A and B are shown apart, each in its own frame.
Chain A
Amino acid sequence: MQGLKLEVIPPPPISRRTLELGVRYSPEFACMPLKINIGNFIEALEKGADTIVMAGGWGPCRFGLYAPVERDILNDLGYDCEMVILEAPDSKLAEILKQLKSLGENVSIPEAYRAIRFAWKKLIAVEELERKLEYFLPRVNDKRTAEEIYEKGLADIDRAGNKMEIEYIVASCRGKWRELPQHNGEILKIGLLGEIYTVLEPGANYNISRYLGHLNAEVTRSIYASEWINDHLCGGFIKKSLHKEIIKSARPYVNYWVGGHGRETIGHAVDFARKNYDGVIQIGPLTCMPEIVAQAILPRVSENEGIPSMTLWFDEHAGTAGIYTRLEAFCDMLQRRKQGNSPSLHPA
């Protein structure tokens, strides 16, 4: 967006204060992503932002209504801001360009196109780092250093001014990770599925993929931000997507669109099972309807496809002990299953 000659004020990272602000000003029954959004927006407005860009949507998930609700909440609070809602176009890239361009002043279409391409490049690089961290974290001995390499890499990408720089940063992070000593213990492979916001935003899921990494489990997420933008905002225009395959995998468990990513959750669970993953974890914000539908079907998938599953709901509680206990127990279970039924429980 900086390429659109706009000053961008990103909200500060999600913190306890973000959630507190969100909880205070949101309807009690709304799900956690809305509350975090509100908190983010207030914090960005406090830093001087005057326009908010928010994605829209439609269908049985409440998300489609969030942008107007959020605008009303912020206006009621007395914030004088504009909100631009990006609606999913009917699979035309030009539509998206037009919507984004309406934001920029004095920017030509080719300039806008270049700006978006560069932002896309950065997003892909960030995800490359995320995936590499997901791979290396369970394998290395010194987890903290592996995380520091990642955090430094992210900050560098943020500052990078051109394509070459970005590529160099990614390569150098990869090199540093490769040099870290690795252990030869068993690595569990876990698929993380569920509601997109909770899956993508570590601030909303207590960073469970990191925690699992510390337990020597390699986490693969069902969805990455670039895929969502590709499938949902650009109608699969940018690159060929696996979305259709996943929908196919959901059969015969879910044959219809149940709203949100309910069908995708089931499709991915089947997909992970067929790729011989050790287990899947479904996550979502409490009260998320599409994921509740998926949760009800997941035990059948577990049984038929032979993959253990667990569901975790997230809400505003700050205590992490309960979540980590469940994750640890889940990993223990997978570990013991993998070793076969030979717990050495023989009294002398």
Chain B
Amino acid sequence: MDCYFGVDVGSVSSNFVLLDRSFKVIQKVYLRTRGNPVAAIKEGYRAIKNDIARPGLKIKAVGTTGSGRYLASVLLGADVVKNEITAHAVAASFLYPGVNTIIEIGGQDSKIIILKDGIVNDFAMNTVCAAGTGSFLDQQASRLNIPIEEFGGRAMNSRQAVRIAGRCGVFAESDMIHKQQMGYPLEDIVMGLCEALVRNYLNNVGKGKRIEEPVVFQGGVAANIGLRTAFEKILHMNINVPEYYDVMGAIGSAILAREHIEQQKRSTVFRGEEFILNGEFKSQSFECQGCPNMCEIVCIKRNDEILAYWGDRCKKWEASLNKKKDEAV
């Protein structure tokens, strides 16, 4: 059976999915990136490889997305390397064909995507502030000593949410501490935080956008039922959370990868298990002395072979590698 491999390497989590020909999820893996994307990619591949090794299963296309998409593409050999917005939109509009609004909140960034007739019509991402994203919730959960998995459930026990300032993460935190010291119940504070984050999202990310139903809520934070309820309450809309809400980016990139190889009539450039698991990948960085920009160049090596350069504004290092490849061919 043909299958399609999608990888989303984000700041906080790295996700891997294997889709069959009808884009059903055969297997999914959700890992924490822990600041080491190379290790996460290897680990993710290892976790999914037993499924790949099943008789008759063959990877026909590979797609990568997320902020680590270029790195993932170098390690795996990807047919498509796409930004998260396109990937998320593709996955959501596949599962919910008439979707008009996608709310996506991940570890470090949040986005809103507005679709019209299945095509992205407008989008926005959070700019300078990461308030309201997964890492901020993580931090608050651990400060309140609540496991993140239970955070949303605790909020649901609230009878009267406390008003928390949502304009900025630092303000929200000091407001929360203040309310705690006043003796408000924890549940009400947690729900208050959820509502504050929703207001923050709508005012910053959703600013000036027309939110219309159907609405899909995805990304790791969609696990938080407190936030989902807060969105429903504030928007007065029904919020859909897909079954695989946490790996939608990876699903989208697998779909895009298949679309690409079928349109181009090419076979995959997937590098295979031996390349990924048995090589030692190293990254080095150095300051280029070519001009006053002094770009920090990153060089990715497998054993002693240079696989990629990036970080150069003028692209001369990147280009040097392509020239070598051309000569080799």
Contact = CB atoms under 8 A, between A and B. Distances in A.
B119 A15 contact: no
B306 interface: no
Given A333-B120, A333-B123, A341-B118, A347 B82 contact: no
A207 B21 CA distance: 41
Interface of A: 12-13, 15-18, 143-144, 147, 206-207, 286, 296, 298-299, 302, 308, 310, 313, 315, 321-322, 325-326, 328-330, 332-333, 336-337, 341, 343-345, 347-348
B174 interface: no
B293 A15 contact: yes
A321 B67 contact: yes
Contacts of A302: 122
A286 B129 CA distance: 13
B120 A332 contact: yes
Contact of B90 (A143, A147, A308, A345): A345
Pick the most buried of B90, B117, B293: most chain A CB atoms within 10 A of its CB: B293
Interface string B242-273: 00000000000001000100110000000000
Contacts of A206: 313
Interface in B80-127: 82-86, 90, 93-94, 109, 117-125, 127
A308 B122 contact: yes
25 contacts: A13-B293, A16-B294, A17-B292, A18-B292, A143-B315, A144-B316, A147-B314, A299-B208, A299-B209, A302-B122, A325-B67, A329-B86, A329-B123, A332-B85, A333-B86, A333-B119, A333-B120, A333-B121, A336-B119, A343-B93, A343-B119, A344-B259, A345-B118, A347-B23, A348-B22
Contacts of B182: none
Interface residues of B, number: 39
B328 interface: no
**Secondary structure class of chain A's binding surface, majority of residues:** helix
A343 B90 contact: yes
B128 interface: yes
B22 A329 contact: no
A326 B122 CA distance: 11
B128 A332 contact: no
Nearest to B320: A144
Given A15-B293, A144-B315, A296-B208, A332 B82 contact: yes
Nearest to A296: B208
Contact of A325 (B84, B93, B119, B315): B84
